[in-house]
Amino acid sequence: MQSQKKLINSVDCCVDEALCGLVRANGGLCLMKGHRVVLRSDLENLRGKVALLSGGGSGHEPAHGGYVGAGMLSAAVAGGVFASPPPASILAAILSLHNAGTSGVLLIVKNYTGDRLNFGLAAEQARNYGVAIDMVIVAEDCAFDRPSKAGRRGLCGTVFIHKLAGALAEEGCSLDQIVSKITEVLKGIGTLGVSLSPCSVPGCLPSFDLPPGDMELGLGIHGEPGIKRSKLASADEVMKTMIDHMTNPDSLSHLPLKSGDSVVVCVNNLGALSCLEMAVVTRAAVVCLENRGVVIARVMSGSFMTSLEMAGVSLTLMKASQETLRLFDAKTTASAWPNISSVCATGRRYMSDPPAVSTRPQDDKYSEGPLSPVMRKMLEKVCATLLEKQEELNSLDRAAGDGDCGNTHAQAARAIMEWLQDHVVPGCPGQLLTVLAGLMQEKMGGSSGALYSLFLTAAAGHVTEEQSNAASWARAMDAGTQAMRRYGGADPGDRTMLDALCPAVNELNKCATAPSAGHLAILQAAVQKATLGAEETRNLTAQAGRASYIAAERVTLPDPGAIAVAAILRAVLEVLEVEK
């Protein structure tokens, strides 16, 4: 077993450098020289108010330094990684707050022996300096059915206490009032953690061994193992297990929770879960609680009290009265406190309706027109051609891509044929192009589907039932080609379908000034130029698409996309020659 890689400069300096990084990134904070103490840089604004001091071992970032700010902590003192801070630093922080003219100092301490001893010793020393001081112990861990004499551990629920006590202090409440209110709130807070991996203190081996596929329930935040090990289950199952355990009335450390109760939910990343996993777990927590009839007043989800790089999550629930929510919603400048919505999560309409406009034009109803029969014949001819060329296009694509160009074009052809069986061809060419764009987008897939859909969508606005002459079709083709170039990033000469399409469009643009009798000849010339352009791609070096990643000397066959475009244009021409 090896120690985990850490992006630090040295084991000895990592805590001090982390604290320096925190204050250098936040103008509202400063560091006390000679101590690992983070202070508000505006201590003068604390005059006459109660100051709040918390802290503990490092490795739980953003706790506790990230919660220093107006409306939360006045200062935080840090120990080494997972080590309680020394009494001398705690006392230095207390005296700095006292000397700023505060009316008293409240210590908020997690229930670990080292923290209790060191903060307790500093509190006793501070009293000898005439400081009005008190201590609140946070012990909200729900893991143990029968807690030992050491009692329940202090976990992420501590962050809730920072917030509520900070709001009370900001409002000018006395030390006794704050202690009284916070002690009452603590009775309604519970936390439970689950881990998929251990963590490792810098320079050390992992804190415990957890086989792949296993998870640990009820672990602490210092890497100490939990109460139960089991196989990893789904997020929904894990969350149900956690909530069942937290609220089990047979446990002496359970959180009494019944239907109709209102709670604040904190889903806390223990260090290494991805944001995607955190969102999945948050949904699972919300759904599980609401299925029990619990009203979710607020939700916070993110990294609030971590355990280095542990892959795991803790769930904290706090029973919420209107007064609790008022304090919870109060403003704070603490950098790690999230921007939480003050809207009750339960009962909020969180799904919006889709747009009234159809996003699947292929499902809409259309009317036939004079152009419908010839456009149907064109489509049938194009589809037959693409199916016929499937293997040829695949073969060309295997030389420079993933070998599926024929398959994707055949997929598109089958989608069009299927649509033709059940639908009339609209008399408006623009409507037909919009339908085809929808089919390409949905059925063709890949970059080809997106490119054809772009082309057809951009072209659709230039041809209507009334405006459907050769010149308008040329404008439509030009608009579609420009859209492909704009969004696809390729140009003629880059060995793509544009090398067949652009020469054809340039020829078709002559329709704008040529007499109608010459339009078919222009189309014939355009198809010839497309065919020639496609053939000449064998001599080009790919600058876009998958072929651009292949060595040029290995790409000696024509580009399959360009060959497909030339074949489509030729199929259209053949139908028009017969119709003429």
Annotated binding site for substrate: 57-60, 110, 115
What whole-number distance in Å separates Cα of residue 117 and Cα of residue 245?
Answer: 30
3-state helix vs strand vs coil in the chain, percent to 5: 45, 15, 40
What whole-number distance in Å separates Cα of residue 398 and Cα of residue 421?
Answer: 33
Closest by CA to 40, choosing from 94, 76, 79, 80, is: 76
What whole-number distance in Å separates Cα of residue 42 and Cα of residue 102?
Answer: 12
What whole-number distance in Å separates Cα of residue 29 and Cα of residue 277?
Answer: 32
Catalytic residue among 64, 98, 162, 222: 222
Return the number of other C-beta atoms located less than 10 Å from residue 66's C-beta: 25
Strands 312-319 and 189-195: antiparallel
Exposed/middle/buried for residue 539 (C-beta within 10 Å: 0-12, 13-18, 19+): exposed
190-229 in b/e burial notation, b at 16+ Cβ within 10 A? bbbbbbbbbbbbbeeebbbebeeeebbbbbbbbbebbeeb
395-427 in b/e burial notation, b at 16+ Cβ within 10 A? ebbebbbeebbbbbbbbbbebbeebeeeeebbb
**Residue 81 phi, psi dihedral angles, 5° rounding:** -60, 120
Return the number of other C-beta atoms located less than 10 Å from residue 53's C-beta: 28
User: Between the CA of residue 539 and those of 252, 405, 556, what are the distances in Å?
Assistant: 79, 20, 7
236-251 in b/e burial notation, b at 16+ Cβ within 10 A? eebbbbbbebbbeeeb
Sheet of strand 228-231: strand arrangement? 228-231, 214-217, 189-195, 312-319, 262-269, 295-302
**Residues constituting the chain:** 580
**Nearest 5°: CA angle at 379, between 375 and 380?**
115
Our answer to whether residue 409 is catalytic in this structure is no
For residues 476 and 463, the answer to whether their CB atoms sit within 8 Å is yes
What whole-number distance in Å separates Cα of residue 238 and Cα of residue 244?
Answer: 10
Q: Provide the token pair at 286.
A: 């919300």
Residues whose CB falls within 8 Å of the CB of residue 471, separated by 6 or more in sequence, listed in order? 511, 512
Supply the DSSP string of 172-208, one letter for each residue.
Answer: T--HHHHHHHHHHHHTTEEEEEEESS----TTS--SS
Return the number of other C-beta atoms located less than 10 Å from residue 439's C-beta: 22
Q: Provide the token pair at 278.
A: 């955190």
**Annotated binding residues, as ranges?**
57-60, 110, 115
Helix (H) or strand (E) holding 228: strand 228-231
- Angle, helices 405-422 vs 429-439, to 10°: value is 130
Would you name the residues annotated as active-site residues?
A: 222
